[in-house]
Chain A
């Protein structure tokens, strides 16, 4: 596992490191799935370019829009005129087809060696990208994942119920799955492209549980994972697409994996998820919340 220590980040240090490790010419593809994010995608692009133009790195932004009714694509085209069509790539799809397949779709069009995945709703701030890149250069990790639960990280805008479900799900998953990652549900991550391609192919769950499945599978496959602290400010504009469903989905996934493992091969996929099965049924009926 990668070191969890994080020692601040200065941009000159990053530039120096980029030179030292001969990483110039590395291309980072930033994958942003959107649905009804007219305002947020514009704000995000401004912050991305502001942050990354200061650094000596090449990058491209790939927006995968699922035919948003608010015409998010129109804003992306305007942004292309400001920043250039080689910097912002619009790769729309014809209907709302889900998050997992959005990554598959975006990956097909990504030419970078490293893929950054982030949400468009500004809960993932681009100002942390330098620390992701720096951490990857330092540790040569396969995955760098943002964590809210280490020194320097944090969450803003959650009520007690949301905190309770988040902590509960994390304790449950840590007790049963031993993932060696402090924040399973965070989705602000940097991947080596082939690693992400393999993980995306292997994952079976839909929606936001997908993020958790990917990181657990990554630890099982023995990829090195480093962590950097991030802060998470709950979305300012627009409505959340996940809500309270998320924790239930998360628990249901751990349960369903057990059934899948029985069907497929007993020892391949993880019998260790079985105690969650009865718990998940209670959670689904809302017995705990």
Chain B
């Protein structure tokens, strides 16, 4: 399915829910006070989610220092082979 339909499906459902809440008459006065500002809360929550995900991503960022050592070994091996075969690689 097209991404645009999925995206607007989600957004449309949320907006419909919000309008339903706005129009409903059976809510307690305390809840009614909050309802008009729900989209703002939603945006803030989305922003927090984003920042949280970036922060979490940084916390668990996978590193591999041992790979750098292995690569250096491979490079030395390759250099020895190239020298033996007479491949000239130095910058001219």
Chain A residues near B (Cβ < 8 Å): 38-39, 42-43, 46-47, 70-71, 74-75, 78-79, 82, 122, 125, 127, 148-149, 153-157, 160, 163-164, 167-168, 170-172, 175, 177-178, 220, 231, 233, 236, 267, 270-272
Least CB distance from A89 to B in Å reads: 17
Stretch from B12-20, B21-29, B31-39, B59-67 that touches the partner:
B59-67
Chain B at the A interface: SS class: helix
Q: How large is the interface on B (under 10, 10 to 19, 20 to 34, 35 or more residues)?
A: 35 or more
Assess whether A156 is in contact with B4, with CB atoms less than 8 Å apart.
no
What residues of A have a CB within 8 angstroms of the CB of B82 in the complex?
Answer: 42-43, 46
What residues of B have a CB within 8 angstroms of the CB of A78 in the complex?
Answer: 86-88
What residues of B have a CB within 8 angstroms of the CB of A233 in the complex?
Answer: 64, 67-68, 71
A44 to B24, CA, bound (A): 67
Nearest residue (CB) in A for B64 is A154
Q: Which of A155, A172, A272 has the largest number of chain B CB atoms within 10 A?
A: A272
Assess whether B74 is in contact with A47, with CB atoms less than 8 Å apart.
yes
Asked whether A178 and B6 contact (CB < 8 A) given A46-B82, A82-B85, the answer is yes
Nearest residue (CB) in B for A82 is B85
Assess whether A42 is in contact with B61, with CB atoms less than 8 Å apart.
no
What residues of A have a CB within 8 angstroms of the CB of B2 in the complex?
Answer: 220, 267, 270
What residues of B have a CB within 8 angstroms of the CB of A168 in the complex?
Answer: 54
- The digit string for B63-92, where 1 denotes a CB below 8 A from any CB of A, is 111011001101101110110011111111
What residues of A have a CB within 8 angstroms of the CB of B49 in the complex?
Answer: 175
A6 to B33, CA, bound (A): 52
A125 to B90, CA, bound (A): 21
A231 to B65, CA, bound (A): 10
Nearest residue (CB) in A for B5 is A267
Least CB distance from B87 to A in Å reads: 5
B53 at the interface (CB under 8 A from A): yes
Contact of A271 among B4, B62, B67 (CB under 8 A): B4
